[in-house]
Chain A
Amino acid sequence: MSIAQVKRIAISDSPWPWLLPLIALLAVFTIYPFIYNVWLSFHEFVPKSRGLKFVGFANWVQLWNDGRFWGALGVTFLYFAVALTIEIILGMAIALLLDAELPGFAMLRAVLSMTLVIPPAIAGMMFLLMEDSQFGALSYLLGLVGLLDKATPMLATSSLALIGVLIAEIWQWTPFMVLIFMAGLRSLPAEPYEAAMIDGASSLQMFRRLTLPMMSRVIAVAVLLRGIDLFRVFDYVFVMTSGGPGTATYTVSLYAWQQTFSFLKWGYGATLSLTSLVIVMVMANIFIRVAKVRW
């Protein structure tokens, strides 16, 4: 291509020269894998022939009848709901506290974002150590306040393992909520609060009638971003419990990973991941509709 030709493309009114690179990237890294995934869910890998065989809806039928899948879905939903609820409430509470202009608070706000720098797998390793019943600091402290029996290995007890993983999740991601909420709080206008003060509203009334509704958009964005991320939880459970003990912390992503890479059931793995994609899309769309604000 001559320089003149490049120049002509650069100044043309056509959108295609600018869109094509992006379309190419999307096609290679998103659209093709997606279509391949759909195609794969109707096939299965046959180790003997080292090839893929068309199996029709067999994978989907298997999914419907697979107790382990439904169990994993239940765990995923539980993980998602508990983590999201606690991260929102805790995030909002911390954001409200840190919003004050007190000495040292600027530093605290800066320190907050540090957990987000740590790779989740490393954070998982850290908590794995801290929750060890022999020498884990966290286990020791929980034992001191009477929340945990000292002899109980948290991550190896089916009733406690999910809580153990959630602690790491919440520790790492609550600051993310705090940052989003704090940005939202900072952008709120001051006057309605002055008016409410004169109108006689208490702090709680101001929070309920002013702050929460005015923050609804910000909260919705945080829920959406975090919610999608939570649904595909993998790193913490993989590092900390590998889904165990038993299936106590078995999530859909972990199950799909195991089917695909450990058992080489590529077709079934694709079916599992496709299912979780559909669930996330449906939930996100319902949420966007419900959370629409009119004011």
Chain B
Amino acid sequence: MATVEYQRIGKSFGAVTIMRDISFRIEDHEFVVLLGPSGCGKTTLLRMTAGLEAVSQGDLMIGGKRVNDVHPRDRSIAMVFQNYALYPTMKVYDNIAFSLEVAKVPPAEIKSRVEWAAATLNLTPYLGRYPKELSGGQRQRVAMGRAMVREAEVFLFDEPLSNLDAKLRAHMRTEIRQLHNRLKTTTIYVTHDQIEAMTMADKIVVMRAGKIEQIGSPDDVYDRPASKYVADFIGSSSINFLPGTVVVDNGGPAVDTTTGRVSVEPSPALKPGHKVVLGLRPTDVVVDAGGPLAAKAILTERLGHDAQLFCEGPEGSFVAVVDKAARFSEGAEVRFAIPPSKVHVFDAETEIRI
């Protein structure tokens, strides 16, 4: 088992620097998700960790040792690729056994380790098949089996579920997490899917354009997004943003927006006249006839357990999660309230949380 530490890591391709000053630490046994949209550098960071991509600046430490110039095979890592990267000409058994054969592990032990991995992943009936004879989910599990038998100290996952359908993805999510609970191997998992991040991670690292935007537990990142960008990226139904100006209302701070005046929690940084952007999660907004926010109902989308109400406000679309029994006629004005503790306030200029 091992820790992974990034110390001022940077990456350049020729004259183009795509990443600089990445520093954070992953503890032993931790399940860390690198989250961000495509092109944010998360896969590059993972590939640098694996040794498939050279580190341009800074130090990469695995288990306390600097590994910048260490060959991938000597880094004690195992990787699951986005397209699984199975060996097409080898049967499942040989795919899983390959690293052990290469390492000259005695055949009897190879057999027992492969069989253990296959049993853990429900792959035993498929050991004699070729990868092309397997379904996507099975291939995915073979890729994981290949990682498991290596007794690596760090598991690296590169968007491993992105090629599966929604149902299988949810299933594999729990399987991967359960596997981690059992093996406790330090894991770095790259995804652009915030649901995967929220459901699997001990710690989420949100990345944007080669920089780290926020590091925190799923709850931290959801409840206290460090920036407007993070607030926008995390959360199933997209957060509502309302630009406004800080005013004093009944002795407490509030923000005047075109949609209405919203009370916010006091903070020394909030001075009257300060331009801010409010982030209101659809799940935190409640329908309240006496509420300060007003918008015109357009459409209700039923989701089964509740419904999403789409409204048109002065700032454009405004979404609230509402009781599915509630009915709103199109064009009717709906009023909303939100507790001050649930309002996220970001500086209009820097977009950083206040």
Contact = CB atoms under 8 A, between A and B. Distances in A.
Interface of A: 189, 191-192, 194-202, 205, 209-210, 213-214, 216, 293-295
Which are the 8 A-B pairs with shortest beta-carbon distances?
Answer: A200-B73, A191-B85, A213-B89, A199-B99, A195-B85, A295-B130, A198-B72, A295-B89
Contacts, number: 75
B166 to A, nearest CB: 24
Nearest to A200: B73
Interface stretch (B16-24, B76-84, B269-277): B76-84
How would you classify the secondary structure of chain A's contact residues: helix, strand, loop or mixed? helix
Nearest to A193: B85
B15 interface: no
Interface string B98-126: 11001100000000000000000000000
B131 to A, nearest CB: 8
18 contacts: A189-B83, A192-B85, A194-B79, A195-B79, A196-B87, A197-B72, A198-B50, A198-B72, A198-B79, A199-B98, A200-B99, A200-B102, A201-B98, A293-B89, A294-B130, A295-B90, A295-B130, A295-B131
Choose among A197, A200, A202 the residue with the greatest number of B CB atoms under 10 Å from its CB.
A200
Interface string B43-75: 000000011100000000000000000011110
Contacts of A201: 73, 98-99, 102
A195 B81 CA distance: 8
A197 B79 CA distance: 11
B42 interface: no
Contacts of B84: 191
B87 A195 contact: yes
Contacts of B74: 200
B87 A197 contact: no
Contact of A198 (B78, B88, B90): B78
A153 B84 CA distance: 59
A175 B86 CA distance: 32
Nearest to B80: A195
B90 A195 contact: no
B141 interface: no
Interface string B162-191: 000000000000000000000000000000
B146 interface: yes
Contacts of B88: 189, 192, 214, 295
Contact of B98 (A194, A196, A216, A294): A196
A294 to B, nearest CB: 7
Nearest to A195: B85
B73 A214 contact: no
Contacts of A200: 72-74, 99, 102-103
B302 interface: no
Given A210-B89, A295-B132, 10 more contacts: A189-B88, A191-B81, A195-B81, A197-B71, A199-B73, A199-B146, A200-B72, A200-B99, A214-B88, A293-B89
A205 B146 CA distance: 17
A293 B78 CA distance: 30
Contacts of A191: 81, 83-85
A22 B131 CA distance: 41
Contacts of B99: 198-201
B102 A205 contact: yes
Nearest to A188: B88
A198 B89 contact: no
A82 B335 CA distance: 88
B208 interface: no
B90 A209 contact: yes
Contacts of A192: 85-88
A216 B88 CA distance: 12
B344 interface: no
Contacts of A293: 89
Contacts of A194: 50, 52, 79, 81, 85
Nearest to A197: B72
Contacts of B89: 209-210, 213-214, 216, 293, 295
A30 B86 CA distance: 46
Contacts of B150: 199
A293 B88 CA distance: 11
B130 A210 contact: no
Contacts of B50: 194, 198
A196 B89 CA distance: 13
A294 B131 CA distance: 11
Contacts of B72: 197-198, 200
A198 B72 CA distance: 5
Contact of A199 (B52, B102, B131): B102
Nearest to B100: A199
B98 A209 contact: yes
B130 A197 contact: no
Contacts of A195: 79, 81, 85-87, 146
B87 to A, nearest CB: 5
Contact of B87 (A198, A202, A209, A294): A209
